[in-house]
Amino acid sequence: MADISRPLPYADGEFDDVVVSLVLHYLKDWSAPLAELRRVLRPGGRLLLSVNHPRILESSDPDADYFAVTEYSEEYTFGDQQAVLTYWHRPLHAMSDAFTEAGFRIAVISEPPFSPDTPKELLPPGLGDRTAFICFIFFVLEAL
């Protein structure tokens, strides 16, 4: 795993856009990574990111407290290997607070549908005619 406590090897304001996809939900504390991402973006630059949707935890644990920042793990099979992935659930307000505290403004929040070309075996069972399901949430953040 990468050492997220070290600064990125880039100058302040070096980038117009930074993409961080499906990373932050593995981290307990978002403050240092978000501050470092803000540092390398020029003012007005965009951070495009995706994380597990905040409703994911409740779908697997109906007794979970949506409003608590909570660590949870799930077991997966990748080919013939088992893996346990550990996540940090955050309610939407905790995400938006972290973005604001790091110097970002939320420009877009998106819960997009899946591609119509997605093979059915890759989708959750029982979707019927629905074209979307709660899985990830996407943000476009503007550096202030």
At the top level of CATH, which class does the domain 15-143 belong to? Answer: alpha beta
pLDDT tens digit string along 112-137?
Answer: 888 889 888 888 888 888 888 788 99
pLDDT tens digit string along 64-113?
Answer: 999 999 999 999 898 999 999 999 999 999 999 999 999 999 999 999 88
CA neighbor of 142 nearest in space, from 32, 54, 16, 29: 16
Task: Tell me what pLDDT residue 4 has.
Answer: 66
pTM of the model: 0.87
CB 88 within 8 A of CB 79: no
- Report whether pLDDT(3) > 70: no
Domain boundary assignment for the chain: 15-143
CB 72 within 8 A of CB 58: no
Mean residue pLDDT across the chain: 92
